[in-house]
Each structure stands twice: as structure tokens, then as C-alpha cells.
Amino acid sequence: MILAENPGRSNVDPLWIGPQHRDKEPSSSLIMTSSTALLFCAALLCFLVCSCVGTTPPAVARKPCEYNEIKRCNQQFKQVFLDAKNPGGRNIPIAWKRVYCRALQTFMNCLEQSLASCVGGDWLQNYSFVVLEHGVMDKKCGVCPRHDYSNLERVMHATNKSDYVGFDVCPSCAKGVHRRCVRRFLHKMAADSNICHDVQEFISCYKEEGNPKRSCATTKIIRNFSTLCTKLGEKMLQEDKTHPGLMC
């Protein structure tokens, strides 16, 4: 008995299909092209994701009020000296030191008000911290014993800063250092009315006194304040080159 062939099925064993009947395999060039395309798509997707969620946030722009407030307080500081009579000569009289103390107190009072009206600016914060530290040195080292910076200290949360000189004592050698640097500042001011040159003289004095070879350089208060003058103090002077009229 012969079984009838099923017209809908092929009698050819699929395991024995000849090369002429098999589906053609994709060429190696096509495989390579597909792989390259997949890699490119993956790389592009990775780039887009990183661009959206992995970018570095832009630097915080300085607020216009910071520039205005720093300039305003600098002008008030300078005006105290301009209103006083130039002592002249080599010896700085006691009255001129009082002018210096009044100028620093005016500066601190002005910055205290500025921090209340121009909130959140790092530039103004750093600037105010330098002036506050200067006022603290004046008081602790006996140059301006009547300085009052308690409000500025509170507004700035200065006591939360580990390098705040308000925690340090001012021994006799440190008192001598600070008085010498203030004297150099005043002598420079008597000869040169450019406040930036005068401040640079003060900073240079502290950089010299902070030299490890100096006898008082190991004192904590001198070491901390000298570091502050070198870092933030110098930066303050550089800002005037970027923003002419800010200080000088």
C-alpha cells in the first residue's frame, strides 16, 4: 500500500536540505555593521543621559549687591582717614591710631549691615570674615581694645569656624607683631593714599612675621592670621584688578 503524499508538506527531510534550499546566512560585513550601529547607539544614549544628569553645576554667580556693598563699606573705611588730618613725619601719634581704630570699627559696622541686606553671597561673606579677623586681632593684641564686633561675629557664625582667631590668645610677642604691622600700615598710608598699597604693606608685614624662622611664627594666633592674610587678604587685593574701584 502506497501512502498518498500530503500536498501541503514537503517530502524532503529538513535535516538533509541541500545548500541550495537553505536560507542564506547573513554576511560577516552585515554582522559587523549591525554591531557597530548598536555600539554607536549605546554610546549616544550614554552621552545623552550623562549630559542630562551628570553635568557639573555651573558656578554660582556673584550677586550685584555684593559688589555694591563691598565698595560702599570700603569707601566708608577710607573716608574716616580722609577726614582725619595726616600726621606726617615718622612717628604715628596716638590720635592717628584712634583714627585707625575708628576706621576699622566703621568697616565692621558697615559689613554687618551689608550681610543683612545682601544675603547668601560667598564673596561678601569671605570679605567680611577677613575684616572681622582683623578687628579681632586689633582688640586681642591691644591696639584697639574698644572694638565691638559681637554682632558681626554672630551674623557670620564665626565661632563655628575652626580657624577663627577669636579662640586664640595674643601673647606678648604676638602683640608686638601686630603693633609693628599696624604701624607699617599707617606709615605707608601717610606717604601713599592708595588704600590697596597700604593694605599690601600690612599683608607683607604678616607674611614676613609668619616666616617659620621668626621667633613668634609658631604662635597659633600669628600662624592663623598670617595664613588668612596670605590667602584671602591677597585675594581681596586681586579683586580690585578685576573690579576697578572696588577698594582702591
Asked whether residue 16 carries a pLDDT value surpassing 70, the answer given is no
Asked whether residue 210 carries a pLDDT value surpassing 60, the answer given is yes
Asked which of 27-36, 57-66, 121-130 is least confident by mean pLDDT, the reply is 27-36
Reported pTM: 0.70
Question: How does the average pLDDT of the chain come out, rounded?
Answer: 75
Q: How far apart are alpha carbons 131 and 174 in whole angstroms?
A: 18
Confidence band, pLDDT 50/70/90 cuts, at residue 194: confident
3-state secondary structure of 137: helix
Containing H/E element for 31?
helix 28-53
The three grid cell numbers given for residue 22, joined into one nine-digit string: 537553505
The reported pLDDT for the residue numbered 146 is 95
The three grid cell numbers given for residue 225, joined into one nine-digit string: 592670621
The reported pLDDT for the residue numbered 28 is 47
Name the residue among 122, 138, 128, 86 with its Cα closest to residue 107.
128
Asked whether residue 125 carries a pLDDT value surpassing 80, the answer given is yes
Asked which of 71-80, 108-117, 207-216, 224-233 is least confident by mean pLDDT, the reply is 224-233
The reported pLDDT for the residue numbered 193 is 72
> Average pLDDT, stretch 99-107?
95
The reported pLDDT for the residue numbered 175 is 95
Name the residue among 216, 186, 223, 211 with its Cα closest to residue 201.
186
